[in-house]
Amino acid sequence: MNKLLSKRMQAFQPSIFSELAAYKKRKIEHGCDMIDLSIGSPDMPPPDFVVDCLTEAAVQKECYGYTLTGTQEFHEAVASYYENNYKISLNSLHEIVMLMGSQDGLVHLPMVFADPGDYILVPDPGYTAYATGIAMAGATPYFMPLTKENGFLPDLSQIPEHVARQTKLMILNFPGNPVPVMADEAFFHEVIAFAKRYDIIVIHDFAYGELYFDNNKPISFLSVPGAKEIGVEINSLSKSFNLAGCRIGYLAGNESIIETIKHFKSNIDYGVFLPIQKAAIAALRNGAAFCEQNRMMYEHRRNVLAEGLCSIGWQVQKSEGGMFIWAEIPAGWTSTQFAYALMDKASVVVTPGQAFGPSGEGFVRIALVQDEKIIKEAVVRLKNSGIFA
């Protein structure tokens, strides 16, 4: 068939991720043993009690119908989780909606609230799904640079007045991907004031909220006074409980925004498989000890990798949270050139920073998704590559 694609598909060109995967595959075909530190997918299984809950429900024949929405029990589990973890009171009926993973919400929220010609303020560098949602809505991204000089926080004072007045949404992400830093309460107060001044909806992507280091727990955006008046927080169980393939998450916060998303989702999907909802409920209610164990594992991996890289002359900063290191590369390279050089000379795969936005140039993202032994082997390979001599 020789059919032309829709105009919106012009925004979806082949990504650097697919190019890296294809190059990695060719290297493997030529006998290279590649260590992949590029993809942010948990390498460990969920806790046993969650798997047991899922499998027990999966053999119940009555669990195979449409769920249509999140069950009331799921909504109540989310509300209890927020109360227990952040001392936030959420109305389980009106301030929570279930999602098929956080990407479901991140891609669809711009389509629900923005039109062509509207601006959406987006972190730069930022998670690639933000750009997807903006493109599907036909809206215009306005990049908020995350620079080392500003502590990798957006500088709202640099947003032009005319842009702010035409903005529908602001997307934030702390702890961030790819930049694994956290915001303080003062910054969130500034965001809320800015959003109220220009009538902007704030979406806080909190997917890495359980992955924090050095006992420095991140702030939930919804815990800041005034946040629920203008915004929502989005989360999933993918990273916190290693349930990435199960595709379940939630949106919480402003009642009007939540009700609108409920209406939208009632037209596009039929809910999440009930056994997955039951497993998520178990995780939210009983997963605190597992989350602590998971944090300790990622923190140890972070320490091993960061200290190992520094020891060979690659000076990187330790992450504040998340499952990545955001590493500044040596002078004289683009991030893409550097990533390919690591594959050629060290058989190590990382993601070039430019894949996440213009301000990502000069950095690479390294995922903490291999065990300690493999991370140490990656450091040895990098040392022997000659790049840091």
Query: Taking each helix axis from N to C terminus, what angle separates 48-58 and 274-286, rounded to the nearest 10 degrees?
Result: 150
The amino acid present at 191, given as its one-letter code, is: V
Is the Cβ–Cβ distance between 353 and 365 less than 8 Å?
yes
pLDDT value, residue 286: 98
Tell me the two tokens of residue 129: 């799904």
**Residues 51, 45: contact at Cβ < 8 Å?**
yes
Listed residue (204, 122, 125, 106) closest to 163, CA to CA: 122
| Cα of 285 vs its chain's centroid, Å | 22
The burial class, CB within 10 Å (0-12 / 13-18 / 19+), for 29 is: exposed
Q: Average pLDDT by consecutive 10-residue portion of the chain (389 residues)? A: 73 79 93 94 96 97 96 98 97 98 96 97 96 95 96 97 98 97 97 98 98 97 98 97 97 98 96 98 98 98 98 96 97 96 97 96 97 97 92
Check residue 3 and give its pLDDT.
66
Spatial strand order in the sheet of 201-205: 96-99, 249-253, 231-236, 201-205, 167-173, 119-124, 140-145
Of 159, 341, 277, 340, nearest to 141 (Cα)? 159
Domains and CATH numbers, the chain: 7-45+289-384 (3.90.1150.10), 49-287 (3.40.640.10)
pTM over 0.85: yes
Around Cβ 27, how many Cβ atoms within 10 Å? 16
pLDDT score, position 4? 76
- Is the bond preceding 175 in cis, omega lying within 30 degrees of 0? yes
